[in-house]
Amino acid sequence: MRNPSGRSPAGCTLIGILAMLAAPADAVRCVTPTCQCEALKVVYSDLQISDIHTGFPGTEVDCCKLSDVRCNDAGGITDLKLRGGTSTPSGVIPLEALKGLVELYRLDLGKDSSSSISGTIPASLATVGNLRDLTLTAKRLSGTLPAELLGADAKGRLEELKVTGRISGTVPTSYCESPSPKHGESKEYGQLQELELGDNEHLSGTLAWSCFTQQYLEELRLDSTALSGTLPQFVDLPRIEEVDLSETKLSGTVPGRLCGKPGADPSPLQLLKLSRIKDLSGTMPEQCFKLANLKELNLKRTRVAGTLPRDMDLRRIEVIDFSNSGLSGTISDGLRRSKSLRFLELSRAGVSGTVPSFLNSLSLDGPGASCRLVDDTHSGNFQCPLPMDVPSCTRIYGQVIDCEYDYASPPPPPPRGFDGLDDLSPGMVALLLLFCLSGAGAAVHLVRRSLAPRKSIAEAAAMALEMQVGDIKVVK
């Protein structure tokens, strides 16, 4: 039963919990809520954090009332997610103190990517409590990924792993080896569902092909890493919802089965980001343009080619970025159904034809929306006239795209600065003198800006004199 006062019963004082943590691992069984609260105090102290609302661990409070803690009905601590309720954590991961949270299910020490935790990841971290979801987002976190965190031989049963920092080495092959369910366990228990290792620029090597055949995997994020190798064509990810492989060193072509298996139920894929993979080429599979659940499709700065299908069906799409890619064709009439589209980027791609007026009926003019068809104030490959009822798509840098601009011709040279009367023809100088001297008859001083005398000034003066416009004095 939970102790609302937060006071420690006999045998579970702070000294007692420290003694328990020093005991062998199998002896650490902090089963009461109050005992787990004492263990949490040690965790907070080791991470040098405190609750900004209550001052915990410096004050006695019910741990289940802390803003970054969640408990089950019996008062056991199940979630510890450091968010806005604490100061910034620092130091190393307090493994021994965490072992006192024997019912812990979810652990997030990332502090919204502002964590100052350093050191390496303990290999036995996955054995803490009943841990299923682990997030470690810290710029100073280093070392390699312990093979013991995930897979068939893992010490725990992690299902979701998110790690960002200065992690190096490779992704252990074991991470994509499905563990066999133990007696009484469901098939999904302990199966990998989310693997997010993005923003680890020193993470390299190749990814095991088995990572693309995970039956329960829902998210795969490996962006901004040095991972390399060829994308496998045999992909079997029936539950995949988010794939982000952008800014990696991967190569090959986009696997068609990444967008669903032929004859299977509609793919649940919602995000497909493959941008800035310079060695990604080939033709974009047509089924990737017919994903009813897709919200973002990004092929920016790739060599992926192919023609946009006229029957494109991306009815829930919000972001499309094909800029600097090899895609061609016209803006599909199928986008008419994409009422949530708020970002459309087609500049420097091969898309051409008529800009459809139905773009005006989408969400491209709302807050945070963007529509960019070209990268300069000319119409690029699109036909004129451009529909003025789609202002967000027919303006760039605040200017209306010039349909009369001849894209094939070189732009005119920029105007030079005026260099005195010598930049004008003699006739123009004479007309200028007529304008200035009409009715005045005053002397005009033509001041030379160059040292060497030029004939044009003398010619202009002679012409003016012949027209009897007045006294002229040429000053060299």
pLDDT for the residue numbered 437: 57
pLDDT for 451 beyond 70: no
Instruction: Report the chain's mean pLDDT, rounded to a whole number.
Output: 81
Mark whether 265 and 401 lie in a shared domain.
yes
pLDDT for the residue numbered 191: 87
pLDDT for the residue numbered 104: 96
Mean pLDDT of the region 128-141: 93
Mark whether 380 and 447 lie in a shared domain.
no
Domain assignment present for 181 = no
Mark whether 322 and 345 lie in a shared domain.
yes
Q: Tell which of 407, 434, 451 closes a domain.
A: 407
Domain assignment present for 243 = no
Domain assignment present for 123 = no
Mark whether 289 and 393 lie in a shared domain.
yes
Domain assignment present for 402 = yes
Percent of the chain with pLDDT over 90: 55
Mark whether 368 and 432 lie in a shared domain.
no
pLDDT for the residue numbered 463: 55
Confidence tier at 387 by pLDDT (50, 70, 90): confident
Specify the CATH number for the domain of residue 358.
Answer: 3.80.10.10
Mark whether 295 and 369 lie in a shared domain.
yes
Question: What pLDDT, in 10s, does the model give residues 79-102?
Answer: 999 987 888 899 999 999 999 999
Supply the range of the domain harboring residue 285.
Answer: 257-407
Confidence tier at 412 by pLDDT (50, 70, 90): low
- Please state, in angstroms and rounded to a whole number, the distance separating the CA atoms of residues 277 and 223: 10
Domain assignment present for 144 = no
pLDDT for 465 beyond 90: no
Question: What pLDDT, in 10s, does the model give residues 279-289?
Answer: 999 999 999 99
pLDDT for 69 beyond 70: yes
Confidence tier at 118 by pLDDT (50, 70, 90): very high
Confidence tier at 459 by pLDDT (50, 70, 90): low
Q: Tell which of 407, 432, 454 closes a domain.
A: 407
Question: What pLDDT, in 10s, does the model give residues 321-368?
Answer: 999 999 999 999 999 999 999 999 998 899 988 888 888 888 887 778
Mark whether 262 and 386 lie in a shared domain.
yes
Mean pLDDT of the region 447-461: 46
pLDDT for 31 beyond 60: yes
Mark whether 270 and 402 lie in a shared domain.
yes
Mark whether 464 and 350 lie in a shared domain.
no
Mean pLDDT of the region 138-145: 93
270 vs 419, which has greater pLDDT?
A: 270
Domain assignment present for 150 = no
Mark whether 340 and 455 lie in a shared domain.
no
Domain assignment present for 239 = no
Mark whether 302 and 403 lie in a shared domain.
yes
Q: Tell which of 379, 407, 435 closes a domain.
A: 407
Instruction: Say how many domains are in the chain.
Output: 2
Mark whether 344 and 403 lie in a shared domain.
yes
Domain assignment present for 434 = yes
